[in-house]
Amino acid sequence: MRLGIVRGHVVLNPAVTAFRGKTLVVLEPVTMENLRGGGKSLIAIDALGAARGQIVAFTEGREAANPYWPNAVPVDAYCSLIVDSINIQP
Amino acid sequence: MFLARIEGTVVSSTKHPTLDGCRFLIAQRLEADGTAGLEPIVIIDWLGAGNGSTVLVSTDGDIARARLGNTTPARMVVVGIVDDLQTRKSAMRGNA
């Protein structure tokens, strides 16, 4: 999983039926420099209710659709957890 | 699979229910020249990797699915802790 800062939300209308009722967030991946943003932004499905400014860890690839198994949902990024704190000891 | 150096831990109280009880580590992917990747990654660890250690990370979610259920979004899992690494000039050594 990579880490990303929630920068906003996306509303789709119309959308494929598999996306109905799902929340989409705009994520800015963080870099190791003070965990600030800077990565290429992407859109992920968020079922946890992350607010703008929070850091989430998101899964990419085939595993991003696992939470909807056995339904087929065209997802390639999924917010798996909202970060409370990161403890880095040098 | 790739090698990564453990930098610390991640605490989360709001997460996908299948991830309850998992230990999350923050790590940096190691490149062939010994430098670390730009973006940190969050990985799941069942082996007890410590800070500063070098681990082998698998990005195949099957091991996580077998353990956490079919609906888990978990993907990156520590599959081994590196004991010794032999490369030319030990270029990929975790403490390089």
Helix, strand, coil distribution of chain A in percent, nearest 5: 10, 40, 50
Average pLDDT over residues B23-31: 95
pLDDT digits (tens, 9 = 90+) for B54-91: 999 999 999 999 999 999 999 999 999 999 888 766 55
Structure-token match 């699979």, residue found: B1
Does this model's pTM top 0.80?
A: yes
Contact between residue B79 and residue B63 where contact means Cβ atoms under 8 Å apart: yes
Contact between residue B61 and residue B75 where contact means Cβ atoms under 8 Å apart: yes
Q: Which residue of A has its CA nearest to B40?
A: A32
Residues of A with Cβ-Cβ distance to B11 under 8 angstroms: 83-87
Provide ipTM, 2 decimals.
0.89
Looking up residue B10, the CATH number of its domain turns out to be 2.40.50.220
What is the residue range of B13's domain? 2-84
pLDDT of amino acid B96? 45
Residue B46 is assigned to a structural domain of this protein: yes
Residue B60 is assigned to a structural domain of this protein: yes
Distance from CA of B83 to the nearest CA of A (A): 20
B 55-94 residues inside an 8 A Cβ radius of A: 59, 61, 64-65, 70-76
Residues of B with Cβ-Cβ distance to A30 under 8 angstroms: 39-40
Residue B93 is assigned to a structural domain of this protein: no
Instruction: Quickly count: other Cβ atoms within 10 Å of residue B8's Cβ.
Output: 17
Residue B95 is assigned to a structural domain of this protein: no
Domains of chain A: 2-82 (2.40.50.220)
Domain count, chain B: 1
Residue B89 is assigned to a structural domain of this protein: no
